[in-house]
């Protein structure tokens, strides 16, 4: 029984890592962002409140927030819904390639944490919306939350790429 439980936990840890950087639920982030030029990343799409650049910036913002919490840095929760999206100044100072590099750096850090069985059940404090109490969750739960958040926004990015006639990427991705 203990061996089966350990094998199951090992699978879940690997699946958590895959949910962050692999093809667990859909195309990987690498495939989703593959061969996407700067001009399309910044191109407004009719009916969409954000560009692909803004969606990825938002993902990277929350990944950094999650990593801070996992490092016991109680980074304040954004006071408005606009804060976790880039300003014009943010967009002008970070190129599309720099943003992708920042995203891949932080998601790799998270994926590496998902493999460290010794820390996954450690409790962390996560700030909440203004006026709400600080939450406590495990590192595992925070990584699951981040993977879920990323999946939502990467789904939006794929839809935007489809609307821009830029899907599938050269490697194929998932087209169904």
Q: Report percent pLDDT > 70 for the chain.
A: 90
Average of pLDDT values for 4-22? 71
pLDDT at 35 > cutoff 60: yes
What rounded mean pLDDT belongs to the chain? 91
pLDDT at 25 > cutoff 80: no
- List, as one string, the DSSP characters of 72-112: T--PPPPSSTTTTS--HHHHHHS-HHHHHHHHHHHHHHHHH
**168 — alpha (psi -120 to 50), left (phi > 0) or beta?**
beta
Q: Which long-range contacts (CB under 8 A, 24 or more apart) does 101-105 make?
A: 102/60, 103/29, 103/33, 103/56, 103/59, 103/60, 103/63, 104/29, 104/30
Q: For 143-160, write each residue's pLDDT tens digit.
A: 999 999 999 999 999 999
Average of pLDDT values for 39-44? 98
Domains of the chain by start residue, with CATH: 45-163 (1.20.120.450)
How much is the pLDDT for 176?
Answer: 61
Q: For 48-95, write each residue's pLDDT tens digit.
A: 999 999 999 999 999 999 999 999 998 888 988 999 999 999 999 999
How much is the pLDDT for 10?
Answer: 52
């Amino acid at each position: 029984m203990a061996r089966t439980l350990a094998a199951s936990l090992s699978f879940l840890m690997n699946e958590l890592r895959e949910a962050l950087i692999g093809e667990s639920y859909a195309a990987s982030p690498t495939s989703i962002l593959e061969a996407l030029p700067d001009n399309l990343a910044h191109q407004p799409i009719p009916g969409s409140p954000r560009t692909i650049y803004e969606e990825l910036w938002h993902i990277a913002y929350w990944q950094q927030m999650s990593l801070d919490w996992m490092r016991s840095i109680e980074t304040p929760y954004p006071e408005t819904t606009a804060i976790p999206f880039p300003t014009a100044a943010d967009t002008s100072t970070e190129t599309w390639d720099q943003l992708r590099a920042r995203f891949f750096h932080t998601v790799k850090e998270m994926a590496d944490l998902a493999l460290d069985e010794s820390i996954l059940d450690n409790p962390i404090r996560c700030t909440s919306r203004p006026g709400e109490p600080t939450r406590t969750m495990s590192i595992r739960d925070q990584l699951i939350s981040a993977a879920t958040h990323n999946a939502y926004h990467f789904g939006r990015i794929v839809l935007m790429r489809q609307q821009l006639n830029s899907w599938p990427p050269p490697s194929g991705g998932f087209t169904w």
